[in-house]
Structure 1
Amino acid sequence: MKNVGAAPVEELATRERSTRNRVARSILDHGPSTVADLAGRLRLTQAAVRRHLDSLVAENVVEAREKRVYGTRARGRPAKVFALTDCGRDAFDQSYDSLAVEALRWIERNAGGEAAVAAFARDRIEAQAGAY
């Protein structure tokens, strides 16, 4: 993840930024998550997760949403889930498009030329059309 803003020296010394990045990465990988979900996955206390989420919310990397409840809602404060914002998603270096293009070029060079790429494209179109 590209760091949003420069990390203060104390963050670098205490690894705060890397833990914060792990929290954001977990949300990216697993989708909107509760504090309990994140704490369990990252083996952190819920208090530590909340502290990092507060910073991520302040940096506009993550946003809190009310958790959907199916059926009768239990007592107490509604649970929140935390999801990446567009800004948060953009902060990760996602090069899926360039990886796909690179793979197609490799197939073209090493596995049958343009005909192989065209066959791959036809198979993908048929698979997607079948789903609809």
Structure 2
Amino acid sequence: MSAQSAVGHTAAPLDADSTRARIRALVVSQGPINASRLAAELDVTPAGVRRHLQALVAAGEIAERAVPVTGPRGRGRPPREYVATTGAQEHLPDASAELAVEALDFIASALGEPGVTQFADDRLAELEERYRPLVESSGSDVAARAVALAGALAADGYAASARRPPGELPLLQLCQGHCPVQQAAEKYPELCEAETRMISRLLGVHVQRLATIAGGGHACTTSVPLTAAPSPAARAT
């Protein structure tokens, strides 16, 4: 008896999620693989498998490609097979965060806090140089520079935005909804401090970090004054 007939319609959403996850796992481990083989492995109808495959392709987690055919090909749809994309890796175990913490532990034990701070600054140097032309092209207005920086961060996956907080204070808040180094930053706040210094240099004013995801906040929030003297770091730059 198939899983579909055994479970019934009321459990379809949960069963669909489970089946899709199993299809994704099989494509990762056994791809290239075709729909017929997946249907046989999972005891699901070929039509049902194809619906899940279409959803996974649309989500960017797997890719569809034509199967090379030697000799004459009959009528009908060309045979297709499926392989995993990098999007599928997001659903698999990832030890990179633990590795980053272990690397910082080693730096801290060998070089102490100054070594961690130097590493954090060096890590962001390339990012800062890449962002600088984008920020400077927006002119000298701090608000425009903050909007440009938020756009650059958003393009790199930080889910960033620049917004005016409630009230009439001449402030802007740079918010980042995603932290790619959260686990490491929870143990080593030097990573957040280095990022704050980078933001200050790029905007040319002294900014203040109000909250971080690593510190328990829902976002990394940086207060940017719109009427302030340039920071010492900005003047030096």
TM-score in same-fold range (> 0.5) = yes
The gaps in structure 2 that reach 5 residues or longer are: 1-9, 99-237
**Secondary structure class of the residue paired with 2:63:** strand
Greater radius of gyration (CA):
2
Deviations 1:67-93 (A, max 9, x none): 111233232221111111121134322
Supply the RMSD in Å over aligned alpha carbons: 2.3
Q: Does 2:41 correspond to 1:41?
A: yes
- Answer 1 or 2: which has greater helix percent: 1
Which is bigger in relative contact order (C-alpha 8 A, separation at least 6)? Answer: 1
The ranges of structure 1 where at least 4 consecutive aligned residues each deviate by more than 4 angstroms after the TM superposition are 10-13
- Give 1:13 deviation, angstroms: 4.9
Instruction: Give the TM-score, by structure 2 length.
Output: 0.33
* 1:80 is aligned to 2:84: no
* TM-score normalised per structure 1: 0.57
Q: Distance in 2 between matches of 1:94 and 1:18?
A: 20
Quickly say closer, same or farther: Cα 1:12–1:93, change in 2 above 3 A. farther
Task: Tell whether the 8 Å contact from 1:39 to 1:49 is kept in structure 2 after alignment.
Answer: yes
Relative to its length, the structure with more strand (as a share) is 2
Q: What is the aligned-residue identity percentage?
A: 32
* 1:43-81 alpha-carbon deviations (Å, 9 max, x no partner): 110111011111111111111101111233232221111
The alignment partner of 2:93 has SS state of: coil
Pairwise mapping of residues 113-128 of structure 1 onto structure 2 (< 5 A)? Answer: none
Q: Which amino acid aligns with 1:19?
A: T
Q: Secondary structure at the match of 1:40?
A: helix
CA pair 92-12 structure 1, distance change in 2 beyond 3 A? farther
Displacement of 1:12 in angstroms is 8.3
Tell me whether 78-87 or 65-74 shows the greater mean CA deviation: 65-74
